[in-house]
Amino acid sequence: MPRINSMIFRDTIWVAPLALLLLLRPWAGAQEAGAEAREPELKRLKSQFAENVQPLLKRYCYRCHGAKRMKSGVRLDQISLTLDDSELFLLRHVHKQLQEEAMPPEDELLPPKEEREAVLKWIEHALQEGARKVQPRNGTVRRLTVAQYHNTLHDLLGVEDRLADALPADGVSEEGFKNNKNTLLLTPQMIETYFDIADSALTIALVDESQKPRIQCFRVELGDGLNANPVAERIELNGPSLLAKEDYIVREEVPEKSFSFEPLAMQRDFRFVEGYKGNATVRQWQDFRGLYHSVFASLIGRHTGGYNYGRSSHLISEGLLLRPRSPETDTKRGPAPTFSMPVRELPATGMLQVTVEAARYEDGLQPKLAAAESGERLVVSLTSAAGVGGGKWNASAGVYQIDVVFSAPPGDDVVTAEIGSRTFSRRVKAPLPISGPGGIKIVPFLIARFSAGALPLMVGCGNGKSLKEVWITPIRQDGDPGRRFAAFENRYPQVSVHMGLRTDVGARLSPFAAPQSVKSPTVERYSFRAPVSSFASPDTEEGNVNYLAGLQEIAVRSEPTDGRQVPRVLVSAIEIEGPYYESWPPRGHQQIFFSSPNRNDAAVYAREVIERFAARAFRRPLRGGELEALHAVWHDQYSATGDFQESVRQALMVILTSPQFLYLTEESEGPGAEPLSPHELAAKLSYFLWNTTPDEHLLSLASKKKLGVSLNAEIGRMVADERFEQFTNEFVSQWLALDKFDVVNVNRGKFPRLLKETRRELRREPMHFVTHLMRKNLPLRNLLSSDFIIANDVVAGYYGLGEKGENGLSFAQMRHGGETLGGILTQAAVLSGLSNGSESNPIKRGAWLARRIIGEPPAPPPPNVPELPEGPETGGKTLRERLEQHRDKVGCAECHRKIDPWGLPLEQYDAGGLWKKGKVDARSTLPDDTEISGTSDLKRYLTEDRLDQVAFSFLRHLAIYAVGRDLTFNELEYLRKEGRRDLSGNGYRMRDCILFVAESPVFREK
């Protein structure tokens, strides 16, 4: 598409808004309100400072905190009573050090009590005066973060593609947040990228309504012997991974749609010079015809041995049975088992829909022990030949345990059984089989539910010529086997879809969309959608005529949780449709080119379209000639080309690359505090709690000037909305520094359970936990100490709580019943991220807790501070001894007194984030001289003795994120005092904290 005129771009988009940015800069020389009335008090403070305070500072402090020396970055010889923020923060720091008698240090000249108290009293008066000082506000401007920009494009245009990934990552502020206005820079290169992204987004969103969409759709059906008329010629795809031609059918489909479209036929004729015969390469021109050379059906791990539960996959007449894929059976082509569909031809753009037709198989649980002998046991003798034995069982309806008995050890093999119309298998390996009376060998095979009737029974084992008989024992529901089977029956397999490129060395697959629970015992459709652009393009060099070149791969798996047994998933068919459209024109196009009685009047309709879109994009009504300037862009283009839609598109490009869209702006008329306008409040609230643009309801309330009085109800609505998780994903991750868990290189030898998938689920735990606390409006103490966790089966299994819940991959509340879990201080993602991957690290954990939780951050370490010795360098010293040695170094002791005491109690958790086995010395003396003996004491101390300070720290981080900037001294004092007054009575309930911040002048004023 042609770019718009550069002069129009410059004048329309940037010049006027940049003038606005200049208006929002701090007002030079602005007279502070009330300054004259406070002048006598300032004079008195300055006089007291010169006469009584400064001499004491010279005597006791300047030697270490003066012009020649600035320990910990603190300099006291420049206090001038301007009472600006930097000076007020310095005075508060000095007050804290003097009050706690941390300064001067014991080895320096110490002031008598009356002199210390005189300085403290003067500082308190200065801080009170500073708190009364009205700081200039002058509005604010901040760029959308990359995440906010992505979400906003999605909501405005319906674009799912992750186009914003082309932007550089946002900078991180000192507090750990990515939305701070001081770190959200804009470079010329970024402006060019914004232009490219807007161009791509509009290309995706806008279509030619006069043209029918072209849609490709095909399906692969699976089943043992399903294809009665397979193709005659051989299909080659590196040999044994392919399913037999008789076991699948490939056919093109015409999907049902509510709109007209043109089916896109797949290519059926191919000519390649390089192909394969088995695993051998054949170089000769050959013609190939038919869909079976365009779509393949194969199985990763089909012949991989060692799967713990028996056959990892099994073709039956109804489809393909898949067990949960095993992390222990990774191959170069990915985890096994995985049903794989290499595909030669897929759409290059748009959304792709993969629909898996699947059912939850009526499966059996594999028991650990043989069933207890019972008078109700039925013994079925097997007529055995070549390792296969058969019989018949006249079953009554109920739950039974099936045990397979051998007269001699069967060896390491797989026992299979067909009972009625169902098929089962179990691997025989140590500790199986179990020895029984008379030298028999017993394989506890399965516990399953059977209907009444005469059931054929066929048992097989490759090394099983010693097959003897089958024991069938009814299982009581109130016994342990019965309870375990009841839990198994209530579990659901998790089906997932992956996509990537197929290469000679395997496939590189990425998740297509979130897994889905397969709950129905009858086949249902489970659809997964993702933009094609999210995956690698199958580009090949020009002239590549290899049979396997340029293949993409779509894979279907059953996802594991924590290793617990789950019923197999039955996959009967996979259907691919793309580009996928729910409607035509697509939603994004319809939102822009909406129905209007003026649609036949080009100029009027263009004005309506541009005004409506710009108001949504700018998050406010248009003003000051904006509409005229944008309409002029359309008019000039339309006059030159006569192309209505392309002319509108150029105006939309101006909108999507303008500062009004890319920046959140709060305009100010002067330095004094002013209330946000209704639309500014709507935008600020939406980007706070949804991380995206306000919806129509918020904007409607703003237009009616009712948002301010409806704030409580609106926050309740927004917290309950699914978009709230866009807030918690960003805020919690950045506040708790979970990016450290992303990059820590965990020692797999010491922590073999911390696999990639496990890390992914543990990473999600803190976000789900905080979301739960906020939606339930629970007291803040639960953040640090709760009798529950929010976990799925992966997280619960990692913590050793697999027996306590059956949630699959969904997160839900679970009682942990102990003292080693509950609250963010015991979550593995936090603790492991604050380690070196092999050992726990009390310095990292202590500094994190001091900064993020208690809100008493240590000073930055001086340069060239040595790391804590690790590995062979420890010289056999314990961690506590190494810390003491480290603290003895010059410049280390003072800071470590504020760090190590917070981290030592967390030494009870290893680098994998789990409770350490054995006794651990986790004693600590906290900075206020409180002695504790471990994590439980630490949690009690924080929730009982320091809850107000923890709450202030939480409110501070929440408010900094909410407003996207650092807070002033006055604002922090407001949070400290008013937060305690308004929230402490109810225990600082979490959603109430959100409401408090949103209603505060910190948020509501500019």
* pLDDT tens per residue across span 451-475: 999 999 999 887 667 888 999 999 9
Same domain, yes or no, for 497 and 456?
no
Give the HSE-up count for residue 389: Cα atoms under 13 Å, Cβ half-sphere. Answer: 19
Beta carbons of 204 and 349 less than 8 angstroms apart: yes
> Is the domain of 940 the same as that of 816?
yes
Q: Which residues of the chain have pLDDT under 50?
A: 1-12, 15-33, 304-306, 329-331
CB within 8 Å of 660: residues ≥ 6 apart: 17, 614, 617, 618, 626
Q: Which pTM does this prediction carry?
A: 0.90
Query: The domain that contains 403 carries what CATH number?
Result: 2.60.120.260
Query: Which of 132, 153, 169 is the endpoint of a domain?
Result: 132
Q: Are residues 953 and 816 in the same domain?
A: no
Q: Is residue 89 part of a domain?
A: yes
| d(C-alpha 951, C-alpha 976), whole Å | 9
Any domain includes 691: no
Question: Is the Cβ–Cβ distance between 271 and 286 less than 8 Å?
Answer: yes
Give the C-alpha separation, 154 to 616, whole Å: 13
Q: Helix H segments across 286-379?
A: none
Same domain flag for 961 and 936: no
pLDDT for the residue numbered 311: 87
Looking up tokens 């009444």 gives 452
Residue 498 falls inside a structural domain: yes
Q: What pLDDT is attached to residue 131?
A: 82
Q: Residue 89 and residue 127: Cα distance in Å, rounded?
A: 9
Q: Are 111 and 117 in contact (CB under 8 A)?
A: no
| Mean pLDDT for the chain overall | 89
Structural domain for 541, as ranges: 215-253+264-361+493-578
27 within domain boundaries: no
Residue 272 CA to residue 288 CA, distance in Å, equals 8
Q: Does residue 878 lie within any of the structural domains?
A: no
For residues 269 and 391, membership in a common domain is answered with no
Q: What is the pLDDT of residue 6?
A: 40
Q: How many of the other CB atoms lie within 10 Å of CB of 192?
A: 11
The residue from 112, 132, 152 where one domain ends is: 132
| Angle in degrees, CA 965, 733, 508, rounded to 5 | 130
Q: Which residue, of 132, 166, 192, is where some domain finishes?
A: 132
Close Cβ partners of 213 (under 8 Å, ≥ 6 residues apart): 207, 259, 261, 262, 579, 581, 584
pLDDT score, position 8: 46
162 lies in some domain: no
Same domain, residue pair 742 and 796: yes
- The C-alpha atoms of residue 571 and residue 220 are separated, in whole angstroms, by 10
Residues 815 and 902 in one domain: yes
* Residue 154 pLDDT: 98
Looking at the structure, do residues 937 and 963 belong to the same domain, yes or no? no
Cβ within 8 Å of residue 800, ≥6 positions away: none
Task: For the beta carbon of residue 182, count every other beta carbon within 10 angstroms.
Answer: 12
Query: Is 654 within 8 Å of 628 (Cβ atoms)?
Result: no
pLDDT in tens, 856-891: 988 766 655 666 666 656 666 776 777 776 666 655
Contact 794, 763 (CB under 8 A): no
Cβ 657 vs Cβ 649: under 8 Å: no
Check: CB of residue 497 under 8 Å from CB of residue 354: yes
352 and 314 inside one domain: yes
Q: How far apart are CA 77 and CA 567, in angstroms?
A: 73
Is the Cβ–Cβ distance between 941 and 948 less than 8 Å? Answer: no
Is 189 part of any domain?
no
Pairing of β 262-263 and β 214-222: parallel
Same domain for 853 and 780, yes or no, is yes
Residues 525 and 541 in one domain: yes
Domain match, 921 and 818 both: yes
Question: Which pLDDT belongs to residue 25?
Answer: 42
Domain count within the chain: 5
| Within-domain flag for 593 | no
Neighbours of 591 (CB within 10 A): 17
